[in-house]
Structure 1
Amino acid sequence: MKEVFVLNEEDFLKIAVKENGELVECIVEERSTDPQIGEIYKGRIKNILPSINSIFIDIGLEKEAYMYYSDELKRLAVKKGQDILVEVLKEPLGNKGAKVTHKASIAGKYAVLTLGSEGIKLSKRIASLEARQRLTTLIKPPRDVEVLFRTDAEEAESEEILKDLDSLLKKKEQLERKLNYSTHLGKIDSNSLMVRFFSELDNIKTTIVCDDKEQVKIIEEFIKSKDNISMKYYDGHISLFDYYGIEKEILKLRHKKVNLESGGYIVIDKTEAMYVIDVNSGKHTKARDFNRTIFETNMEAAKEIGRQIKLRNLSGIIVVDFIDMRDDRQRPIVMKTLKKSLESDKGNTKIYPFTELDLVQISRRRKGKSIYEYLEESCKKCKSNGYILKLSYLENLIKNEILRAYRENSINDFYIELDVSYKENVKEDLVGFLTRIDGLDKEIYLNFIDNLEGYNLEPLIFASQKENYQSYKIKTV
């Protein structure tokens, strides 16, 4: 049984997935004017630098996008001043613009079109020989576009697939018209997270819960022909994620250490260039010999690593440092377990063989923000060398607790503790802080203390409690 929760906030669209009651995936997409992964832009080539194999493209924004100057582009003889369709592969970072590709993709229910390529491909999950033969001969390969048939095409009627393809080809023509006849440089198709996620839903029995009526309509278009999926609209007063306990589970993901049942553990570290996952045997002492302990810990870690990669939405380069295995026969078994743990990631990951040092490299395609980007911001006290929870994230959690206490018990007075790192920002915009936590019409007592992870909130019911905290009462006038 799978449950999908879709939370629509002012700045974020969040999707959480549970399987058999356990949180297995969390994807966050920020609403921003900056280029987002999957968006398609009309751009104009501003510069070609063969020395660094790069092309820089004006996409109508302050920062120019860039892409790799491949042999294929060299053969196509692209030139400065040429208009081009590009899809965002990587969001802007620092002074760097968005990384893009000229091979823009258009996703449908049964197929994906890729511009700038040719041929017909099939999802690796389509196992039936009969289905593979049917799909490869269903249409003539179109010019200048590659057609990839998705897993759902295996069970679909040919008429349904052709209808989907016709819709995608019309969309392709619209994009090409905008490229050829519009003078405007900029975004011409969103290809949003919502579209991509629900295009890839499998055939498991699934319940979708969403808190936004407009998003419900969009989702229903994707699932209307799937009898294994049901839809619910949530209209509660507190956040959907808070109501279902998801926000607390997300908060736990900030911790680097993940314990394994055997007594071992893994540590997930983020560097500027990659994520590093270290496997440790810890207190694992159940096995009778050392080699067995190593093998069992690595096996358990391999299962958990796949789960954590999807759960934290890690992307880019991920290096896993397994415990050194003296028995070479253990490596293929551990590798098979790791691959299986990422099997449901549907083509987003590529896993490379063990190195001599028992390191495994994983590359994962980015989709939305990682949990760290959503939860954390640079710490001013640490001079940007450390990270703290975003104040906006804490404000949202505090607001949900206040709303719950007020709705359930008519409580109007609250004592709140925050780390001293937030003091300056809160004091600069005290009214804004109170507004965001739904505290303007309530009595709020606020205290800043050192080394507090997250926040503490205490509903004040008795007069004696208020007297104890009188010095922390917020006065906005």
Structure 2
Amino acid sequence: MSTKLIVSNYKNFKCGVKLNEGELVNIRFQPNEDVQIGDIYKVKVSEILPNDSGAFITYGKDDQRGFFKRINLPNGDKAHEGQTLLLQVRSIGSKDKVHLFTNNIILTGKFINLLPYGDEIILSRRTRKNLDTNQQDKIMDALSDTEVGLIARHNLTPENLEIAQAELKTLNDQWKEIELNAKELNEEGLVFQNTYFDQNFVCDYSDKNTDQIIFSDHDRFEKVKNWDEGLDSSFASICEEISSDQIEEQFNLSEKIDYLIGHQYELPSGGNIMFGKTDALTAIDVNTGAAKRFDTNREAIHLIAKLIKLKNVSGKVVIDPVASDQNTLRKLVGMLKNEFRDDLSITNVYGYTRGGLLELSRSRNDRSIDELNLN
């Protein structure tokens, strides 16, 4: 299977696209905004909510407000009003909601993610899947002397441990510089700006089948290439620069993205599915066509799971399948779970509500396509 990653632009957004044999399987966007996921701010706690259920913080010169959900600090204390903290932007608020901040700070690398406030060595899900027990043990042993927490990413193997340890030192130095910058800052404000969208996308979505990483922008191409050449050059060796017009002509990305912005999707059987979004949940309705009910539901489950991942839908989702017998409905639950087996987000399929709706939830890692207003 040929897998291509394309790092380009869509309207005013940075865009990362993954194609398997020409089919769109993953896509991520970064809007041109002042605040980005991964930014680190020196903030001040302005208000603790009742029952210690969270806190509002200010993080900018104009007293911009954000929300800090877990007020328990790494040292075991609880945050208090007026306290100054280092927090990282976890998610961008949609509509009139404020941005969500966390003290579970992560500095991302190619092989290692540094958790400066942590104390555990964690193997990512993909690392555990890719490596056998002996390989996992070698990695754990090699990294056991670290004094901070870290996550071993899926690119890490026993063969590149030496490079990963050098990267870990670089990340530690980066964190020390962030702490120093925060001390020198006399008021709340930005301490570290996450400018690693392209690197993170390539790291997150590359796999053993990736044979080409395409860039439409020269500066972004050079930045990722130079960054990777300082490590093991496994990405740099397959990076290529192609003009936006050539990318569009060859891969037809605009049409693929425009398809995702819609709300009604046709099924091969002649039926369709409809996506509806509220503040509380995403509702998906399956409408039958000329095919048998099971075939319609089977087609719908496959397409729904694909679209949930591509649209980056998160939170509660309810699906109204075509009415079927109990045995068929049970099969649909298994099918849906299988579709999300390799999802980077955490997805839980709960089964049916009393009203016969198939319910699931998906963890939020960024805004959905609907929230980004790509039109």
Corresponding residue of 1:246: 253
Q: Quote how far apart the aligned CAs of 1:71 are.
A: 5.2
The 1-side partners of 2:359 and 2:80 are apart by 40
Deviations 1:35-58 (A, max 9, x none): 222222121222222347221211
Counterparts in 2 of 1:30 and 1:369: CA distance versus 1, 3 Å: farther
- 2:343 equivalent to 1:345: yes
Structure 1 stretches of at least 4 aligned residues deviating more than 6 Å after TM superposition = none
- Name the structure 2 match of 1:124: 125
Distance 1:52 1:298 in 2: 44
Q: CA deviation at 1:9?
A: 6.7
Asked if the contact 1:107/1:196 (under 8 Å) is kept, the reply is: yes
Cα contact 1:89–1:101 (8 A) shared by 2 = yes
Match of 1:157 in 2: 160
Match of 1:267 in 2: 274
Between stretches 336-345 and 172-181, larger displacement belongs to: 336-345
Q: Give 3-state SS (helix, strand or coil) of 1:352's partner.
A: strand
Q: Which has the higher contact order (CA 8 A, sep 6+)?
A: 2
**Aligned with 1:282 (options 266, 271, 289):** 289
Deviation of the 1:229 alpha carbon: 6.1
Task: Give the Cα–Cα distance (whole angstroms) in 2 for the partners of residues 210 and 71 of structure 1.
Answer: 42
Offset of residue 91 of structure 1? 1.5
Query: How is 1:37-436 mapped onto 2 (pairs within 5 angstroms)?
Result: 37-51=37-51, 53-62=53-62, 63-70=64-71, 75-125=76-126, 126=128, 127-140=131-144, 142-143=146-147, 145-154=148-157, 156-191=159-194, 192-200=196-204, 201-220=206-225, 221-222=227-228, 225-226=233-234, 230-235=238-243, 238=245, 240-241=247-248, 244-285=251-292, 293-294=293-294, 296-328=295-327, 331=330, 333-346=331-344, 348-356=345-353, 357-367=356-366, 370=369, 373-376=372-375
RMSD: 2.8
Distance 1:70 1:343, change over 3 A: same
Tell me how far apart the structure 2 counterparts of residues 23 and 185 of structure 1 sit (CA, whole Å).
41
**1:211–1:233 CA contact under 8 A, matched in 2:** yes
Deviations, residues 410-446 of structure 1 (Å, cap 9, x unaligned): xxxxxxxxxxxxxxxxxxxxxxxxxxxxxxxxxxxxx
* Residue 22, structure 1, aligned to residue 23, structure 2: yes
Partner secondary structure for residue 162 of structure 1: helix
TM-score (norm 1): 0.69
The answer on whether the counterparts of 2:94 and 2:367 sit within 8 Å (CA) in structure 1 is no
> Once the 2 structures are TM-superposed, how far is the Cα of residue 209 of structure 1 from its aligned partner?
1.8
The AA in structure 1 aligned to 2:141 is T
CA distance in structure 1 between the aligned counterparts of 2:289 and 2:135, rounded to whole angstroms: 49
Query: Structure 1 CA distance, aligned partners of 2:268 and 2:236?
Result: 33
Three-state SS of the structure 1 residue aligned to 2:82 is: coil
Q: 1:440-477 CA distances to partner (integer Å, 9 max, x unpaired)?
A: xxxxxxxxxxxxxxxxxxxxxxxxxxxxxxxxxxxxxx
Q: Provide the rounded CA distance (Å) in 2 between the counterparts of 1:113 and 1:119.
A: 10
For residues 119-141 of structure 1, what are the alpha-carbon distances to aligned partners after superposition, in whole Å with 9 as ceiling and x for unaligned?
11112232400011112211235
Deviation at 1:247? 0.7
Report the Cα offset of residue 114 of structure 1.
Answer: 2.3
Letter of the 1:272 partner, please give it: D
3-state secondary structure, aligned to 2:30: strand
| CA distance 1:161–1:315, shift in 2 (3 Å) | same
Task: State the percentage of identical aligned residues.
Answer: 22
Does the CA contact (< 8 Å) of 2:340 and 2:347 recur in 1? Answer: no
TM-score, scaled to structure 2: 0.86
How far apart are 1:330 and its partner, in Å? Answer: 5.3
Q: 1:65 to 1:319 in 2, by over 3 A?
A: same
Match for residue 410 of structure 1?
A: none
Alpha-carbon distance in structure 1 between the residues aligned to 2:81 and 2:224: 41
**In 2 relative to 1, CA 214–69 (structure 1 residues): closer, same or farther, beyond 3 Å?**
same
| AA partner of residue 302 (structure 1) | I
Give the superposition deviation at 1:344: 3.8
Distance in 1 between the 2:370 and 2:80 partners?
A: 40
8 Å CA contact 1:37, 1:368 repeated in 2? no
Structure 1 stretches lacking a partner, 5+ long: 286-292, 377-477
User: 1:330 and 1:317 mapped to 2: Cα distance?
Assistant: 19
